[in-house]
Amino acid sequence: MFKVAVPLLHVSNSAAAENFYCTQLGFQKDFAHRVDEEHPEPCYLGLSRDRIWLIVSSYPGDGIAGGVANILVDNVDALHAEFVAKGVPIDTPPINQTWGSREMYVKDADRNCLRFIQA
């Protein structure tokens, strides 16, 4: 029986990714795994916000940069206002899609896209 899927996004700089996802997008760091704690890279970071989990990894072989994670949210416009107040660059502001959802897209430094989707 399936329980949950956790997207993994490849990043080139785990410290910059942690700053973006935690400081700007409001995720919290749940764990960080490094082969050697004295070296910042590569790193496998577990992040969460509300009931959403993400993994960002700078380990070679953990995906490629430019991935996509669809995140279902209650209110895209409220999230947009929160992100704008924090100075988050918005790739695509809230838009009503022809298929019936309202969506906003944000990209990290590695061009990974978070699609915030309101049904």
Residue for token pair 């999230």: 79
Output DSSP code: residue 88: P
pTM over 0.85: yes
Instruction: Give the pLDDT confidence score for residue 37 in this predicted structure.
Output: 83
45-56 as b/e, with b when 16 or more CB fall inside 10 Å? bbbeeeebebbb
What domains does the chain contain, in order, with CATH numbers?
A: 8-118 (3.10.180.10)
Amino acid at 29: K
**Distance set, CA 47 to CA 27, 42, 77 (Å):** 6, 16, 23
pLDDT digits (tens, 9 = 90+) for 50-73: 999 999 999 999 999 999 999 999
Instruction: Identify the three-state secondary structure at position 73.
Output: coil
Sorted by sequence, the CB contacts under 8 Å of residue 84 that are 6+ apart come out as: 90
pLDDT digits (tens, 9 = 90+) for 5-20: 999 999 999 999 999 9
Residue for token pair 């795994």: 33
Of 58, 67, 69, nearest to 27 by C-alpha is 69
Tokens standing for 113? 């896209």
Instruction: Give the pLDDT confidence score for residue 30 in this predicted structure.
Output: 98
Tokens standing for 1? 């029986």
